[in-house]
Structure 1
Amino acid sequence: MADILSLVFRTYMHKKALKEAGSGVVVPASTVLVGEQSISRSVLMLAAVTAASHMGMRVMFFTHTRIQSLPPSLQRCVPNLSPESLKKIQFSYPRTVEELLQQVASLHESTNTSPAPPSLIIVDRLECFLRSHSRFPQGEQSCAAHVCALLCDAAAFFSQKLESQGSSSGPCRLITSFLPEAHAEKAEGGPSATDPVLDVLDRYFEVRCTLDPDRGYGATAAGAAELWSVYLSGRGLAKDRVGVTQEWQLFVFPDALMEFKLV
């Protein structure tokens, strides 16, 4: 069974491209999404809705900024989203990394009252939480390691519960988005360097999914407003030796419709 981002890519591919894609790419259970907030949140929301509506998963969505309404891209891609599907997504709004740690650590308590454990945990804009730390004197790297370790521990716990319940939606997946300072500087034409915090995240997350804006003429030629190159890398891809695709394109059209294409 394809994992969440793989399902997102294939679900929202152009129909002609889907026929040519074959089995496509399988993204493993833990992924860090690296890219600008506007596009990364749209992909995270699309992943949450796809998991809830297509796979019946319960989703925990942690975000620093309150979501007042569904992004236009999501409304355009999933116009007939049922209220029942949205009920499977639980949003939580911790303000600091301490609150995030506390809420993740107490997730297991909700399984005593909820019908099923979460099968997908999403953390939006992890860098906002890491930069709010106050009790990690070693800095953001230490804070990142602590958060990632707790997230992985929670996912492992829920994976065991899902397996013991005979659920078909296990194991529990992890997806987070992160915008390193070097990535932001590169987008603005400034210097680019390896972010030490991103190196920490790569130790915990099996796949890195990088979203880079394509400033060529591809978007105009396709009638799109934006074009993003989607690069997959990481040790998780080595598990799938046959049929692995490591590069996609994401088109965002003027009406907010999003489409993925294999490269």
Structure 2
Amino acid sequence: MTSSRSSSSSPICPDLPEQGLTWGARTYVMGVINVTPDSFSDGGRFESPDAALRQARRMIRQGADLLDLGGQSTRPGAAEIDAEEELARVLPALALIRSACSGAGGPRVSIDTFRAPVAAAALAAGAHWINDVSAGRRDPEILSVVAEFGCPYVLMHSRGDSRSMDDLATYNDVVAEVREDLLRATDIALAAGVSAEQLIWDPGLGFAKTTEHNLSLLRGLAVLRQQGFPLLVGPSRKRFIGAVLNQPSPRSRLWGTAAVCALAIEAGADVLRVHDVGPIVQTARMVDGIRGVPGP
């Protein structure tokens, strides 16, 4: 596939000083807050706005740079809700977090959604980023919303939906095909008015990928990073880590997650999306220190 984007290793996305981010300065950590009853590792724990706020404060104390708030579970087999229910879950938690934590140095809040109405309402209510597991495939109107607001947009690789993704995990060369799919999604986003400077790539570990596919993608992260877009990697507590370590409980996969995060940083990851913020912040700072990257 031919693309107009640069293949250099320098980031296309510029620094985001208004959001306290300078790409390449250090590794940033995004804390996951699921305001859902059915997410794979913490469903129901942070479903209420008060519980979400307590978790947000805990993650901020532990060093989170961003918080990723999601009202629709995207685990394999999850039931899909409509936009109204997703907004009913997300907006009260977002309002509470923004009110309590938006002072100087407060974290950026990302909204994990593939729906345009949810993205628009959340951005209007003070969210900073949109994290779309479908890269605009599920609801193309989300691209117009992102273009209008000019916000950072995480463009993640996936196939199908929660019910069908496991049946679509077929690749001849997973690294090359994920790269091509992300380039194609990038072209569509650019055509919809999103600027290259807004885009952040995510290879979508665990989405329509087997254990071996995920391991191959991790070995090939540097290939994706060479395209020039900032790279977000979300390995946290994923099923492939459980398979490698024989750990069936998601909450027992911290050390596997930390190992993946260390490798991802070495391969050029800019943002790590995780549940266990404290240990991963320490992991990132240690790897950054070894690499000669100054801390915060």
* TM-score relative to the length of structure 1: 0.38
Q: Which has the higher strand share?
A: 1
Given the two structures, how large is their TM-score scaled by the length of structure 2? 0.35
Q: Which has the higher contact order (CA 8 A, sep 6+)?
A: 1
